[in-house]
Chain A
Amino acid sequence: AQTVTQSQPEMSVQEAETVTLSCTYDTSESDYYLFWYKQPPSRQMILVIRQEAYKQQNATENRFSVNFQKAAKSFSLKISDSQLGDAAMYFCAYIFTSGTYKYIFGTGTRLKVLA
């Protein structure tokens, strides 16, 4: 069964510092996509970054980057120069490209940014 595990229920980071959120997944598929979503207090889910499994290069979006380790089935999110607006729940998600198009979400990591 496909599963996504976020082992850190809560993390804190000082403003302007760097933080890494962990995500591991379990799958027997070879072609899939991985995502990080942010859910601020407004509860609107916002896409942060996505990664195609067939691409070896790690995705980057401004201050957000991932460390994708396919063999280890690991997909961590690094936030550089943390800002107060980064405080939110962060969800890791997975979908494989064939089959039912059902997304699998982790349980989330609450990120606190300290001024």
Chain B
Amino acid sequence: DGGITQSPKYLFRKEGQNVTLSCEQNLNHDAMYWYRQDPGQGLRLIYYSQIVNDFQKGDIAEGYSVSREKKESFPLTVTSAQKNPTAFYLCASSTRDRVAADTQYFGPGTRLTVL
């Protein structure tokens, strides 16, 4: 089955540590995205990538970094510079096919907690 996987489902981090959240898709989508969701809030865009080896900052990129070395993978690193990283993180991907109407598909999310 095609889809998006995120791991781990739950992640605990000590203050001052960097952690990496995994996102993999087998939908052959060109574009991939990372969002942050805080309790009761909407989605805020962290980074997005429209093609391999290229990515752009979203609205809240400070304290985060990404890479896009492979089409199917878009890992997100939460660095120690991110002051309040406890949140729910969603990865998504989309095609740029007009027939598919650019629908964005989401992974199940990773819940990050800073201890």
Stretch at the interface among B11-19, B68-76, B78-86, B105-113: B105-113
Identify B98's interface contact among A37, A44, A97, A107, CB under 8 A: A97
Once bound together, how far apart are the Cα atoms of A10 and B104, in whole Å?
24
Q: Which residues of A contact B (CB under 8 A)?
A: 33, 35, 37, 42-47, 50, 52, 91, 93, 95, 97, 100-103, 105-108
- Residue from A43, A50, A93 in contact with B108 in the complex, judged by beta carbons closer than 8 Å: A43
For residue A104, which residue of chain B has the nearest CB? Answer: B45
- Knowing A91-B42, A105-B42, A106-B42, say if A100 contacts B56 (CB, 8 Å): yes
Q: Which residues on the B side are within 8 Å of A50 (C-beta)?
A: 101, 103
Interface SS, B side: strand
Question: Closest 3 interchain pairs by CB?
Answer: A45-B106, A107-B42, A105-B43
Q: Write the B89-106 contact mask toward A (1 if CB under 8 angstroms, else 0).
A: 010101010100111111
